[in-house]
Chain A
Amino acid sequence: MSTAQTQELVRVEGLTKHYQVGGGFLGATRQVLRAVDQVDLRVLSGEVLGLVGESGCGKSTLGRLILRLAEPTAGRVFFDGQEISGLGRSRMRGLRRQMQIVFQDPVTSLNPRLTVGGILAEPLRIHRQGSAAQIQARVEELLHEVGLRPEHAGRYPHQFSGGQRQRIGIARALALRPRLVVADEPVSALDVSIQAQVINLLMDLKERFGLTYLLVAHDLSVVSHLSDRVAVMYLGKIMEVIPAGRFQTPPLHPYTEALLLAAPVADPRRQMRPPALKGDVASPIAPPPGCRFHTRCPEAQEICPRQVPELRQIEPGHWCACHFR
């Protein structure tokens, strides 16, 4: 791996996002939903950091906090060594260009009233990237980069297939030549054959433009194919960070182990195993005390509900939050 890999592009410390839920005029008590709770994490320059975990565990919220599309309740975010948590609008604007997002749903994430040319030109105009002619040229270049044709600029999103719409979403994210792309379930809504095309595109673009990805995905085979390192979340907390190339080896954390065991394998010779985890994810409103996973953990001991396990480095680059690993 190149030396650039070891430099951090993003660092978050104690990052926390609590939402107030419930309440309203009927006087029901307002409760705190802990979407992201005390997360420490680094994204290295030039890497793909995969982020996995079950629905609602806080993956998208963490991505949005890093991009400052949501304001944290507590904690700090550093981008390229600079703290961005408290930056004002104008200072943030310069940085915005360097960090972009690709969404899961290519249908709802594109403005249906704009042509594709308009969608791609919008960020260029907002950030004053040259004359009208220059913007037009850049739009054509972007279409080419994501495998679409120049004449597509005049069409509307509904005139494209799901895979093509995802290419448009990716082109929009690339318009300002960002360094960091948060890809939030970028291929989850696509059919397998189209998913493979978009996965290849994401890899090509990363190579060509030296991008760094935070890749949120629930399909472990997609994550392990694309990622250098993988972070595993559960109920707002990071449970494990697995170093490059180690995702397929037995993980350390009981939750990661259960996730891997639960994923069906496209090989009929592999017997289906009885499910490793019983029950549902607990509620992020009043999450279980101690280790948040203890209500489902097959290995939970007496200490688990009483004490929060710290995320500790077990071996170089391999972090795990469990009392017994």
Chain B
Amino acid sequence: MTGEALLDIQDLVTVFPGPAGELKAVDGLDLTVNSGEVLGLVGESGCGKSVTALSVLGLLPAPGRVAGGRALFAGQDLLTLDPASLRALRGASISMVFQEPMTSLNPVFSVGRQVAELVLAHRDVSAQEAWRQAVEMLGQVGIPEPEKRAKAYPHQLSGGLRQRVMIAMALALGPRLVMADEPTTALDVTIQAQILHLLRQLQEQSGASVLLITHNLAVVAQMAARVAVMYTGRLVEQAPVGEMFSAPLHPYTRGLLACLPSRSPGRGQRLPTIAGIVPPLDALPPGCAFSDRCPERFAPCQEEEPALVEVAPGHGVRCYLHHRLSRRQKRAAA
């Protein structure tokens, strides 16, 4: 069951050098993954989802740099941990599943060997025993004929099977937290359904927490207990999944949900849209980062950036509209 914070990201700032000074790909992000929960992290491409995960894991590619904040995992700050301890945590207590398994698997070793090496690196077992465990894990993630498939090289497997291998590796050592970055984006819907179901089942059995990163709102609706929405490196809204879909508050979240064809009132009707495009990080509007596209912008929006304010239990919004609302609500309650 879900409980207290397992991963607690506080005020994370990650920068990349830009043509005129540093660009904040992640800007003051606060995000908590509770133990045993699936948290969905959504937003359009470039909003900072992957950079967030990579920063926390210490895998940020140069010249990216974590410029501030903390990422407490079971009380320990991952951002200041020495590389060796972080490496020991990664793979064992925290693991990852990426979008394109082909680039994260080693093409020259069989998939069984890759799972077995992971086991060998973290557990005190013989090579033979590690292989046996690897085959067992490949079977657990639904790979048919695991003894035979363990000997296959990544390119000999379909995309769906490769993603199963990645999941087997991610879960091999019984992690407490799995970060899955677009784990089904490259797959067909029927295979996506299989992989999501598998992730869900394994998560429920093991009680691990999952940070599920995706741009697909439907995937989040089906998988997550809570949802966090990012825009231009910031968290703009977070809420329990039911509330996020039935009563979204931030104009960006409302816009995103409204423009899904599946939520359109009828076939062939014009879809609601969000005007314009996501601004580049070095050309953000003043004040609220969404203010240049927001249909509800009003005077204070471009003066100062709104803070993320909790307007209902577990429901935070970064928008002045709701700050006022909550103040009024507070007054009414007083």
Question: Which residues of the partner chain B approach A221 to less than 8 Å between Cβ atoms?
Answer: 218, 260-262
Judge whether B257 is part of the interface by a CB distance below 8 angstroms: yes
A260-285 CB contact bits vs B (8 Å, 1 = yes)? 01111111111011111111110000
Comparing B106-114, B271-279, B323-331, the segment that makes contact with chain A is B271-279
Q: Does B259 contact A (CB under 8 A)?
A: yes
Segment among B56-64, B74-82, B121-129, B219-227 that sits at the interface with chain A: B219-227
Within the complex, the shortest CB–CB distance from B83 to chain A, in Å, comes to 35
Task: Say which one of B93-101, B173-181, B183-191 lies at the interface with A.
Answer: B183-191
What are the residues of chain B within 8 A of A200 when measuring CB–CB?
Answer: 270-271, 273
Q: Count chain B CB atoms within 10 A of each CB in A54, A200, A280 and give the residue with the most.
A: A280
Min C-beta distance of A258 to chain B, whole Å: 6
Give CA–CA (A220, B216) in the complex, Å: 13
Select which of A195, A219, A266, A269 is within 8 A of B257 by beta carbon: A266
A263 touches B189 (CB 8 A): yes
State whether the Cβ of B241 lies closer than 8 Å to any Cβ in chain A: yes
A189: nearest chain-B partner, CB-CB: B45
CB of B202 to closest CB in A, whole Å: 14
**Interface membership of chain B positions 236-270, coded 1 if the CB is closer than 8 angstroms to chain A and 0 otherwise:** 00000110110000000001110111111001101
Q: Are A193's CB and B44's CB within 8 A? A: yes
Query: Is A86 close to B, CB under 8 A?
Result: no
Tell me whether A314 is interfacial, beta carbon within 8 Å. Answer: no
CA distance A169 to B273 in the complex (A): 20
Nearest CB on A from B129, distance (A): 30
Complex contact A222–B261 (CB within 8 A): yes
Dominant SS at the A interface? loop
A221-237: CB near B (< 8 Å → 1, else 0) gives 11011100000000000
- Measured between beta carbons, the chain A residues less than 8 angstroms from B245 are 266-268
How far, in angstroms, from A192 to B216 measured CA to CA in the complex? Answer: 9
Asked if A259 and B221 make an inter-chain contact with CB atoms under 8 angstroms apart, the answer reads no
Partner of A268, one of B192, B193, B241: B241
Contact A191 B44 (CB under 8 A): yes
B218 near A163 (CB under 8 angstroms)?
Answer: no
Q: Are B189 and A218 in contact, with the CB atoms below 8 A? A: yes
**B54 CB within 8 Å of chain A:** no
Residues of A near B44 (CB, < 8 A) are 191-193
Interface: A87 (CB within 8 A): no
| A203 interface hit (Cβ, 8 Å) | yes
| B257 closest partner in A (C-beta) | A266
For residue A279, which residues in chain B have a CB less than 8 angstroms away from its CB?
Answer: 144
Rounded to whole angstroms, the CA-CA distance of A259 and B190 in the bound complex is 6
Q: How far is the CA of A277 from the CA of B188 in the complex (A)?
A: 12
B interface secondary structure, majority: helix
Q: Mark A179-204, 1 if CB is under 8 A from B, else 0.
A: 00000000000011111110110010
A161 beta carbon closer than 8 Å to chain B: yes
A245 close to B (CB within 8 Å): yes
Cross-chain contact A191 with B222 (CB below 8 angstroms) = no
Q: How far is the CA of A146 from the CA of B296 in the complex (A)?
A: 26
User: CA–CA, A281 to B158, complex, Å?
Assistant: 9
Contact of A193 among B222, B223, B256 (CB under 8 A): B256
A301 at the interface (CB under 8 A from B): no
A225 touches B270 (CB 8 A): no
Contacting pair A245 B158 (CB below 8 A): no
Using a CB-CB cutoff of 8 Å, which residues 262-307 of chain B contact chain A? 262-264, 267-268, 270-274, 277-278
- C-alpha spacing A269/B218, complex, angstroms: 11
Interface centre among A55, A258, A259 (most CB of B within 10 A): A55
Q: How far is the CA of A176 from the CA of B192 in the complex (A)?
A: 39
A16-51 Cβ-contact flags toward B at 8 Å (1 or 0): 000000000000000000000000000000000000
Do B217 and A163 have beta carbons less than 8 Å apart?
no
Once the chains bind, are B221 and A280 in contact (CB under 8 Å)? no
Residues in B whose Cβ lies below 8 Å from that of A268: 221-222, 241-242, 244-245
Q: Are B259 and A218 in contact (CB under 8 A)?
A: no
User: Which one of B188, B190, B271 has the highest number of Cβ atoms from chain A below 10 Å of its Cβ?
Assistant: B190
Q: How far is the CB of A248 from chain B (nearest CB, A)?
A: 8
Please state if B193 and A264 are interface contacts (CB–CB under 8 Å).
yes
Q: Give A54's nearest chain B residue, CB to CB.
A: B188
Determine whether B215 belongs to the interface, using a CB cutoff of 8 Å to chain A: yes
Q: Can you list the 7 inter-chain pairs with the closest CB atoms, starting with the nearest?
A: A196-B259, A225-B261, A221-B262, A262-B193, A264-B218, A191-B44, A193-B274
17 further interface pairs, Cβ-Cβ under 8 Å (given A269-B242, A280-B191): A54-B190, A192-B217, A193-B44, A196-B271, A200-B273, A221-B260, A221-B261, A245-B267, A263-B193, A263-B218, A264-B192, A264-B216, A264-B219, A264-B222, A266-B221, A277-B193, A277-B194
**CB<8 Å pairs between A and B, sample of 17:** A55-B188, A191-B45, A193-B273, A200-B271, A258-B190, A259-B190, A264-B218, A265-B218, A266-B217, A266-B257, A266-B262, A266-B263, A272-B222, A277-B194, A278-B194, A279-B144, A280-B160
